[in-house]
Chain A
Amino acid sequence: MTPFTYLRADTVNDAVRLGAGETAAFLGGGTNIVDLMRETVARHEILVDVTRLSDAVTETAEGGLLIGAAATNTAVAEHNGVRRRYPMLSRAILAGASAQIRNMATVGGNLLQRTRCTYFYDTDGSHCNKRAPGTGCDAREGFNRIHAILGASDACVATHPSDMCVALTALDAIVHIEGRDGARTLPFGELHRLPGDRPDLDTVLAAGELITAIELPPLGVAARSTYRKVRDRASYAFALISVAAALEMDGDRISDVRIAFGGVAHKPWRAAKAEAALRGELASEAGFRAAAAAEFADARPLRDNAFKPELATRTLAAVLAELAKGDVA
């Protein structure tokens, strides 16, 4: 591990001031960055501990929730308001990592975790444009079972590993950011980027910008929502694909719907085409499959992951059928 200076921020202003340098990074629970530093994938010279900043989950004036970025994943998953009003978010978090990691990992850190592409981690000999820009991508023609089928580029086929972020993009969450030039907000769907020719950049955040909170807007449709993850073992594994979905019915017709997929792209994938295909339609297996087909029409599977469009289609159809019946907690 490269030697680094440890600094602890007691206020947001402190954090932004201390984290301003090019070689600085913010430190949450450490569950990803410690491993990245140990493997020398990351070589920060300053780590600014932001776990003492706000971890509060509070009601907003609009009727939503504001979640401090230092809140642990467990704290968000078990929050009564999240469980009742945004169940897909609790379920997404509980589908990720292990209990020990969820107790450590912060909301801010979850958003900024790096891909689990094995070539990204293999500093001993693999080519990776995300880790070392310009060196190539060994995943494109290599072992790419877990990799992207949508929005990838010649430079990078990595996926974003978070479960929580899939729910947050479906819920139209708002990211609160603080930087040297002041505060700003971003719609969640605009935080992460597609790889293009700069796969080294996971998000649109400028150097030194700090995520301070996530805001969940009031969203009635979210009360009937869930998250389903398909993986290679029953627990404690990253997603092959996952679906976050919310459904509101008016009789037999779908009056409102939210859908996002995990495990398919470099960012949590909001399925706008599938949503558009379902709004106002009768709820049916054929309709659910057609909506997924609309979303995956542009899919470009790789050698080892041609199963993903069909797996995602079946999972979406199953989840929507369950939600349409209304027997989901």
Chain B
Amino acid sequence: MSFVVNGNAVPGPADPRVSLLDHLRETLHLTGTKKGCNQGACGACTVLVDGERILSCLALAVQYDGRQITTIEGLAEAATLHPLQAAFIEHDGFQCGYCTPGQICSAIGMAAEARRGVPSHVSADLAAEVILTRDEIQERMSGNLCRCGAHNGIIDAIQATIAPAPTAETSAEMAA
């Protein structure tokens, strides 16, 4: 088996017990993805699979055969940071930085969910267009903890970078 990480075909795990997180860090030496709780409670290990955010600590690598995985290492273009990475610096979206790769991958996944109209627990109307207010971002990012307490800066950075205006396509879909 093989899968694609940040655009490169890489080998799969030698043992089915290996999590996607350990495979990324220990076998592929992509240590940007962090191991926090290793039990699905903190979000530090969040990566994108085919554009969707998941927890790599609860994922068996063997299940991701043939999928496209994006980690924090795959976001910058050469020497140019991803706009969200730059915004985290601008808005003090971290202190120690340990949760940051997970926060950023999670926010990118969240933006895609909002663009296609996925509602959240705090959405007043399940069928309405998604407007990423502070409350919405707070709820949608609740799977990513920051022990330094940089959440306000994190939300500022996300709001400044990701404010998806509803497209004509999603509006039509919701009206149908």
* A residues lining the B interface (CB < 8 Å): 1, 3-6, 27, 29-31, 34-35, 37-38, 47, 49, 51, 74, 77-78, 80, 83-84, 87, 90-91, 94-95, 97-101, 103-104, 234-236, 329
Contact in complex: A104, B142 (CB < 8 Å): no
- Nearest chain-B residue to A75 (Cβ)? B118
Contact in complex: A6, B143 (CB < 8 Å): no
Interface residue from A4, A29, A94, A100 paired with B120 (Cβ < 8 Å): A94
In the A-B complex, list the 5 residue pairs whose CB atoms are closest, starting with the nearest: A98-B143, A235-B142, A6-B16, A329-B125, A236-B142
CA distance A265 to B110 in the complex (A): 33
Contact in complex: A235, B119 (CB < 8 Å): no
Contact in complex: A94, B17 (CB < 8 Å): no
- Nearest chain-B residue to A28 (Cβ)? B63
User: Can you identify 17 A-B contacts, CB atoms within 8 angstroms?
Assistant: A4-B17, A31-B58, A35-B40, A38-B38, A47-B16, A74-B52, A83-B127, A90-B126, A94-B121, A97-B143, A98-B143, A99-B53, A99-B113, A100-B109, A235-B121, A235-B139, A329-B125
- Nearest chain-A residue to B117 (Cβ)? A78
Asked whether B62 is an interface residue with its Cβ less than 8 Å from the other chain, the reply is yes
CA distance A329 to B127 in the complex (A): 8
Contact in complex: A103, B126 (CB < 8 Å): no
Interface residue from B58, B110, B138 paired with A99 (Cβ < 8 Å): B110
| In the complex, chain B residues whose CB is within 8 Å of the CB of A235 | 121, 138-139, 142
Interface residue from A47, A83, A98, A236 paired with B119 (Cβ < 8 Å): A83
Contact in complex: B59, A98 (CB < 8 Å): no
| In the complex, chain A residues whose CB is within 8 Å of the CB of B54 | 100, 103-104
| In the complex, chain A residues whose CB is within 8 Å of the CB of B99 | none
Interface residue from B43, B52, B120 paired with A103 (Cβ < 8 Å): B52
- Nearest chain-B residue to A121 (Cβ)? B39
Asked whether B140 is an interface residue with its Cβ less than 8 Å from the other chain, the reply is yes
Besides the contacts A27-B60, A90-B126, A103-B54, what 7 more A-B pairs have beta carbons closer than 8 Å?
A6-B16, A29-B59, A78-B116, A91-B121, A101-B55, A103-B109, A236-B142
The total of Cβ contacts below 8 Å across the A-B interface reads 107
Asked whether B78 is an interface residue with its Cβ less than 8 Å from the other chain, the reply is no
- B82-110 contacts to A, CB under 8 A, are 106, 109-110
| In the complex, chain A residues whose CB is within 8 Å of the CB of B38 | 38
- Nearest chain-A residue to B174 (Cβ)? A80
CA distance A100 to B109 in the complex (A): 9
Known contacts: A4-B16, A104-B59, A235-B139. The answer to whether A91 contacts B126 by CB under 8 A is: yes
Asked whether B124 is an interface residue with its Cβ less than 8 Å from the other chain, the reply is yes
Contact in complex: B118, A78 (CB < 8 Å): yes
* B residues lining the A interface (CB < 8 Å): 15-17, 19, 38-40, 43, 46, 52-55, 58-60, 62-63, 106, 109-110, 113, 116-121, 123-128, 138-140, 142-144, 173-174, 176
Q: What's the minimum C-beta distance from A63 to chain B, rounded to whole angstroms?
A: 18
Contact in complex: B58, A94 (CB < 8 Å): no
Contact in complex: A100, B113 (CB < 8 Å): no
CA distance A84 to B46 in the complex (A): 31
Contact in complex: B46, A6 (CB < 8 Å): no
Contact in complex: A34, B62 (CB < 8 Å): no
CA distance A52 to B155 in the complex (A): 36
CA distance A327 to B102 in the complex (A): 37
Contact in complex: B117, A6 (CB < 8 Å): no
Contact in complex: B60, A94 (CB < 8 Å): no
CA distance A77 to B121 in the complex (A): 10
Q: What's the minimum C-beta distance from B166 to chain A, rounded to whole angstroms?
A: 15
| In the complex, chain B residues whose CB is within 8 Å of the CB of A78 | 116-119
| In the complex, chain B residues whose CB is within 8 Å of the CB of A91 | 121, 126
CA distance A78 to B116 in the complex (A): 9
CA distance A43 to B116 in the complex (A): 39
| In the complex, chain B residues whose CB is within 8 Å of the CB of A4 | 16-17
Interface residue from B40, B123, B126, B176 paired with A101 (Cβ < 8 Å): B40
Contact in complex: B40, A74 (CB < 8 Å): no
CA distance A91 to B127 in the complex (A): 12
Contact in complex: A49, B63 (CB < 8 Å): yes
Contact in complex: A30, B53 (CB < 8 Å): no
CA distance A275 to B168 in the complex (A): 43
| In the complex, chain A residues whose CB is within 8 Å of the CB of B63 | 27, 30, 49, 51
Contact in complex: B62, A101 (CB < 8 Å): no
CA distance A1 to B62 in the complex (A): 15
Contact in complex: A6, B62 (CB < 8 Å): yes
Contact in complex: A30, B46 (CB < 8 Å): no
